[in-house]
Amino acid sequence: MTKCDKCGKNITKSNPGLECNQCEKIVHLNGNCSGLTNKQRNALKAAENLGWTCQDCLEHSPRRSSIYVPGDGEEEDEEDNVQETENYSKNVQIDIKRLLKDISKEMEKALQRELRDIIKSLQHQSDKLDELTVSIDALKLTMKELQKKNIELANKNNYLETRVGALEQRIKDTEQSQLNKQIEILNIPNNNTEMLSNIVKKIADKLSVSVDDIESIKRVPGKKEKPGNIEITFKNETETTKWITAAKNSKLYAHDFMDNQAEATGKQIIYMREVLSYYNKKLLWEAKQKLKPTYKYVW
């Protein structure tokens, strides 16, 4: 293995050597063994035609003997010095240009590699953007379809609500129409021995109406301690109107129609009205509660 003539250590790839052009002596390419500065070493690396002569060869070179060194009293030839300086500068300038050219090539290669990576990255981002655009377009189309379906469902819902409301109203009307042949008499006291037919007959005589069209008579359970109402069912609706109209034009008191006068205390007024469905009863009660401050009677 080749050793450095200066320090005696091996010449390796990590620590290369420098060969003299004259004596072919090899030393390490560093400042200690070669005696060169960093700039000089870099120039030697960059320039293939630039040679190096070791210090020993420079000192013992025959060319040195042909060089005239003037004495202390002699003046130096300024023109020779200038010419030598210009030649050296020219050689150095040529080497620097080549070095800059090599550096420029390396930089161009590095920039091209970087540019290829950037172009590749931009192409990838562009592909992703295209995919995202396609996804957004599909999402917009889906949203439009959902909006259309939502409008259709809203229209169907409104239609069904209207139908349900109409059906509910028909049911309410049907329930009430089934009660149109009935009336109820209020405030008739309960009597275990009473004959409802006799009481109703006396009321009919008082109102000057007929009992021939009566189909049935019954007393419904009362709430709390109040007496239950007497319900009368007629064969046709016209009789209901006659009885209600006659009752409005007369004042009826319970003691006038009870067999046992003790059962009817004071002048308890008897009321007569149509039988209402549950919905209409609730509606009438809510109307009375709301209009109570303004109206005395609501029917």
> In sequence order, what DSSP letters do the residues of 41-66 get, joined into one string?
HHHHHH-TT-----HHHHHH-GGGGG
Q: Report the distance separating Cα 51 and Cα 18, nearest Å.
A: 10
Are 59 and 83 in the same domain?
Answer: no
Least confident window among 15-24, 56-65, 241-250, 252-261? 56-65
Q: Say if 284 falls within a structural domain.
A: no
Q: Say if 114 falls within a structural domain.
A: yes
Q: Report the distance separating Cα 59 and Cα 201, nearest Å.
A: 162
Q: Say if 298 falls within a structural domain.
A: no
pLDDT at residue 298, as a whole number:
77
Are 246 and 235 in the same domain?
Answer: yes
Are 83 and 170 in the same domain?
Answer: yes
pLDDT at residue 41, as a whole number:
82
pLDDT mean over 223-233: 87
Q: Say if 287 falls within a structural domain.
A: no
Are 64 and 97 in the same domain?
Answer: no
Overall domain count for the chain = 3
The pair of three-digit structure tokens given for residue 228, joined into one six-digit string? 């239950």
Confidence grade of residue 268 (pLDDT, cut at 50, 70, 90): confident
Q: Looking at the DSSP assignment, which residues form a beta bridge with residue 227? A: none
Q: Which domain holds residue 263?
A: 180-275
Q: Report the distance separating Cα 265 and Cα 197, nearest Å.
A: 21
pLDDT at residue 260, as a whole number:
56
Q: Say if 280 falls within a structural domain.
A: no
CATH number, position 49: 3.30.40.10
Q: Say if 291 falls within a structural domain.
A: no
Q: Is the pLDDT of residue 93 over 50?
A: no
Q: Say if 4 falls within a structural domain.
A: yes
Are 174 and 81 in the same domain?
Answer: yes
Q: Say if 129 falls within a structural domain.
A: yes
pLDDT at residue 88, as a whole number:
47
Q: Is the pLDDT of residue 114 over 70?
A: yes
State which of 117, 150, 178 marks the end of a domain: 178
pLDDT at residue 73, as a whole number:
47
pLDDT at residue 92, as a whole number:
46
Which of 91 and 68 is assigned the larger pLDDT? 91
Confidence grade of residue 65 (pLDDT, cut at 50, 70, 90): very low
